[in-house]
Amino acid sequence: MNSGNEPTNSAPATAGPDTTNNAVAPKATAATLITNIAGLVTNDPSLGDGSPLGLIQDAALVIEGDRVVWTGESSKAPATDNRVDAGGRTVVPGFVDSHSHLVFAGDRTAEFNARMSGRAYEAGGIRTTVAATRAATDAELEANVVRYLREALRQGTTTFETKSGYGLTVEDEARALRVAARHTDEVTYLGAHIVSPDYADDPAGYVALVTGEMLDACAPHARWIDVFCEKGAFDGDQARAILTAGKARGLHPRVHANQLSYGPGVQLAVELDAASADHCTHLTDDDVDALANSATVATLLPGAEFSTRAKWPDARRLLDAGATVALSTDCNPGSSFTSSMPFCVALAVRDMGMTPDEAVWSATAGGAAALRRTDIGRLSPGARADLAFLDAPSHVHLAYRPGVPLVTEVWRAGAPVVLGRGARA
Ligand SMILES: [Zn+2]
Task: Give the span between the Cα atoms of 96 and 388, in whole angstroms.
Answer: 11
User: Is 397 annotated among the ligand-binding residues?
Assistant: no
Selected residue with higher pLDDT from 4 and 123: 123
N- to C-terminal Cα separation, the chain: 10
pLDDT beyond 50 at 1: no
> Taken in order 388, 393, 394, 400, is the CA torsion positive or negative?
negative
Q: What is the Å distance from ligand 1's center to 329 Cα?
A: 9
Q: Is 259 among the annotated ligand-binding positions?
A: yes
Sign, CA dihedral 285-260-316-42, equals positive
Q: What is the pLDDT of residues 251-280, one digit of tens each?
A: 999 999 999 999 999 999 999 999 999 999
pLDDT at residue 288 is higher than 80: yes
Query: In terms of CATH architecture, what is 96-370?
Result: Alpha-Beta Barrel (3.20)
The rounded Å distance from CA 68 to ligand 1 centre is 32
pLDDT for the residue 366: 98
CATH 3.40.50.300 fits 31-93+377-418, yes or no: no
**Structure-model confidence comparison of residues 25 and 8, the more confident one:** 25
DSSP annotation string for 187-202: EEEEEESS--GGGTT-
E strand or H helix that includes residue 21: none
- Compute the distance between CA of residue 369 and CA of residue 294 in angstroms, rounded to an integer: 12
Distance 356 CA to ligand 1 centre (A): 24
**Ligand 1 mean position, distance from CA 304 (Å):** 9
pTM for the model: 0.91
Distance, CA of 340 to CA of 361 (rounded, Å): 15
**Residue 188 Cα to ligand 1 middle (Å):** 11
One-letter amino acid of 153 = L
From the list 128, 141, 59, 129, the residue with the least C-alpha distance to 387 is: 59
pLDDT tens, 340-357?
Answer: 999 999 999 999 999 999
Residue span(s) of the chain under CATH 3.20.20.140 come to: 96-370
Dist. CA 250–CA 255, nearest whole Å:
16
Q: Which residues surround ligand 1, an ion (CB under 5 A)?
A: 330
Q: In angstroms, what is the span from residue 16 Cα to ligand 1's centroid?
A: 37
Q: What is the pLDDT of residue 120?
A: 64
Determine how many CB atoms are found less than 10 A away from the CB of residue 3.
Answer: 9
DSSP summary character for residue 108: -
Q: Please tell me the distance between residue 88's alpha carbon and the centre of ligand 1 in angstroms.
A: 37
Q: Tell me what the mean pLDDT of segment 380-409 comes to.
A: 97
Task: Count other C-beta atoms under 10 Å from residue 116's C-beta.
Answer: 11
Instruction: Output the CA 398–ligand 1 centroid distance in Å.
Output: 23
| Stretch 156-165: mean pLDDT | 98
Q: What is the pLDDT of residue 30?
A: 81
- Distance from Cα 212 to the centre of ligand 1, integer Å: 23
CA quadruple 41, 46, 49, 52: dihedral, nearest 10: 60
Ligand 1 geometric centre to CA of 161 (Å) = 11
282 is in an annotated binding site: no
Rg (CA), the chain: 21
Query: From the CB of residue 285, how many other CB atoms can be counted at a distance below 10 Å?
Result: 9
Query: Which residues of the chain form CATH 2.30.40.10?
Result: 31-93+377-418
335-361 burial, b at 16+ Cβ within 10 Å, e below that, comes to: bbbbbbbbbbbbbbbeebbbebbbbbb
Q: Is 150 helix (H, G, I), strand (E, B) or coil?
A: helix
- Nearest residue to 189 (alpha-carbon basis) of 101, 270, 279, 248: 101
Residue 150 has pLDDT above 70, yes or no: yes
Report CA(257)–ligand 1 centroid distance (Å).
10
Centre of ligand 1 to C-alpha 331, Å, is: 7
332 in a known ligand binding site: yes
Is 279 labeled as ligand-binding?
no
Ligand-binding site membership of 108 (annotated):
yes
Spacing, Cα 256 to ligand 1 middle (Å): 6
Nearest to 377 by CA among 37, 44, 50, 155: 44
Helix (H, G, I), strand (E, B) or coil at 394: coil
pLDDT tens for 381-395 read: 999 999 999 999 999
Q: What is the mean pLDDT of the chain?
A: 91
**How long is the chain?**
425
Question: How large is the average pLDDT for residues 298-315?
Answer: 96
Q: Any alpha helices (H) in 155-233, and if so which ranges?
A: 170-181, 203-211, 213-218
Check the annotation: does 335 bind a ligand.
yes
Distance 396 CA to ligand 1 centre (A): 27
Mind giving me the DSSP string for 39-68?
A: EE----TTSTTSSTT--EEEEEEEEETTEE
Which DSSP helix (H) or strand (E) runs through 345? helix 341-351
CA of 100 to the centre of ligand 1 (A): 6
Decide if 179 contacts 226 (C-beta within 8 A): no
Residue 166 annotated in ligand binding: yes
CA 15 – ligand 1 centroid, Å: 35
The answer to whether 93 touches 364, Cβ cutoff 8 Å, is: yes
Distance 194 CA to ligand 1 centre (A): 12
Distance 145 CA to ligand 1 centre (A): 16
